[in-house]
Amino acid sequence: MDGLKDSYIAHGLDPSILEHDTLYLSRLSQDAAIEVEMYRLGKNDDFSNTRELLRILGKYQLKDTDTFRTSPHFPYLALWDALRKKSEKELRYISDLALEMRLLRNELEDINNPKKIEQNRAILVDLSREFFRHYHIEKAPLRRLVA
């Protein structure tokens, strides 16, 4: 994990904003998915990226009483989109997202469970994909219709 964080810092990014950076979160989720796959293949048992992702998700865990005004700055919309794909129920309120975040954290804490390893890898890939998609949405220039 230190290698990923160090590479971002070496490129001049402030370490305090890495937890909000969708590109960093995408890469972190991707590396965590790779850790899970390598564990499944018997080639790795180091889950440092997964632990870092868990730490960040724990730090920004929503409460059932949070609103868009009270929640801290974090790309919750990307998280919302990724969790909505795996959830069997419709996510409509922040309290729904808070519950899904708690469930995700519980699943990732038990990351090396052989019964859930495929599901956990798929969740991490979805997280990576959505964080990356939102990174491009944030960075894309505004497109305007020309009449």
Best CA proximity match to 57, nearest among 103, 125, 111: 103
Q: How many CB atoms lie within 10 A of CB 43?
A: 8
Instruction: From first to last of the 147 residues of the chain, give the pLDDT tens digit.
Output: 456 777 777 877 777 788 888 999 999 999 999 999 999 998 988 899 999 999 999 999 988 888 777 767 788 889 999 988 877 778 888 888 899 999 999 989 988 788 888 888 999 999 999 999 999 888 776 655 454
Q: How many CA atoms lie within 13 A of 94 on its CB side?
A: 14
The domain of 53 spans 2-139
Residue 147 located in a structural domain:
no
Residue 65 located in a structural domain:
yes
Residue 95 located in a structural domain:
yes
Amino acid at 48: S
In the chain, how many domains are there?
1
Q: Are 43 and 61 in contact (CB under 8 A)?
A: no
Look at phi and psi of residue 35 and say left if phi exceeds 0, alpha if psi is from -120 to 50, else beta. Answer: alpha
Residue 145 located in a structural domain:
no
In angstroms, the CA 89 to CA 63 distance is 19
Indicate the pTM of the whole model. Answer: 0.84
